[in-house]
Amino acid sequence: MLNKYARAFFTRVLTPFAAFLIRRGVSPDTVTLIGTAGVVAGALVFYPRGEFFWGTIVITLFVFSDLVDGNMARQLGRSSRWGAFLDSTLDRVADGAIFGGFALWYAGNGDDNVLCAVSIFCLASGQVVSYTKARGEAIGLPVAVNGLVERAERLVISLVAAGFAGLHKFGVPGIQYLLPVALWIVAVGSLVTLVQRVVTVRRESAEAEEAARLDTGSEAAK
């Protein structure tokens, strides 16, 4: 849902900014690299210290680069396999830094081994969810399922909760519990999404093999 509607909205909003960068001679790959570096810095500098509000502000400013670089590439007519590969690869790096930052906080001053483990599970499951689709498509299957919690949902749920949880340091009572709730939601949602994709790949694989068997039988009959 977020990929379908929110991405389209922000793409329209960010188009003038993308055009401005193009006029300044900035390349889409540069935007991708700077955006990822900003997200990683925001996550690993602020989150392990429990500075969730300011960390989320920094990350949010840079996370939109994921939309800007693609917009620039389309305006330039330079969409390429390399650009898609770089963007997808660095997305995984950024996601790992965000959930790694949460894990470092709970392993340290946050002092909660369970939530540290949940954060690590969110990190790992997010990578595996992405891999299942990429691997399924690599072996020629459509992987025609999005799943309950994709990357956009994982980021929005986690970052919004972290940002609000950070308001606890400004005197807002009880709001710090939003982040643990969000991490559990992302963990469960990612597990459901992983199961959905594995089941879909298994079904599509069986259908493809059956279709190939029937085609082979038809050819042999001729």
64 SS3 class: coil
| Among the listed residues 68, 122, 64, 132, the one whose alpha carbon sits nearest the alpha carbon of residue 95 | 122
- Helix (H) / strand (E) element for 130: namely helix 113-138
CATH code of 41's domain: 1.20.120.1760
> Residue 111: left if φ>0, alpha if ψ -120 to 50, beta else—which one?
left
Count each helix (H run) and each strand (E run) in the chain, helices first.
8, 0
Number of residues written out for the chain: 222
Asked if 141 and 204 touch (Cβ cutoff 8 Å), the reply is yes
Q: Which two tokens stand for residue 153?
A: 């949902």
Asked if 52 and 163 touch (Cβ cutoff 8 Å), the reply is yes
> Residue 112: left if φ>0, alpha if ψ -120 to 50, beta else—which one?
beta
State the distance between the two ends of the chain, measured CA to CA, in whole angstroms.
48
- Helix (H) / strand (E) element for 40: namely helix 28-46
pLDDT at residue 79, rounded to an integer: 73
Residue-number span of the structural domain to which 172 is assigned: 1-221
pLDDT at residue 81, rounded to an integer: 84
How large is the angle between the packed helices 28-46 and 65-76, nearest 10 degrees?
A: 180
Sites in the chain below the pLDDT cut of 70: 1-7, 217-222
pLDDT at residue 55, rounded to an integer: 97
H runs (alpha helix) in the chain: 7-23, 28-46, 52-63, 65-76, 81-107, 113-138, 151-165, 178-221
How far is it, in rounded angstroms, from Cα 140 to Cα 130?
A: 16
pLDDT at residue 5, rounded to an integer: 58
Identify the active-site residue in 91, 95, 111, 112: 91
The 8-class DSSP code of residue 149 comes to S
pLDDT at residue 7, rounded to an integer: 65
Q: Could you confirm whether 91 is annotated as catalytic?
A: yes
What's the total number of domains in the chain?
1
Residue-wise pLDDT for 170-191, tens only, equals 999 999 999 999 999 999 999 9
Annotated binding site for Mg(2+): 66, 69, 87, 91
Annotated binding site for a CDP-1,2-diacyl-sn-glycerol: 29-32, 70, 74, 80
pLDDT at residue 218, rounded to an integer: 67
Q: Which two tokens stand for residue 31?
A: 């935007």
Annotated binding site: 29-32, 66, 69-70, 74, 80, 87, 91
pLDDT at residue 215, rounded to an integer: 76
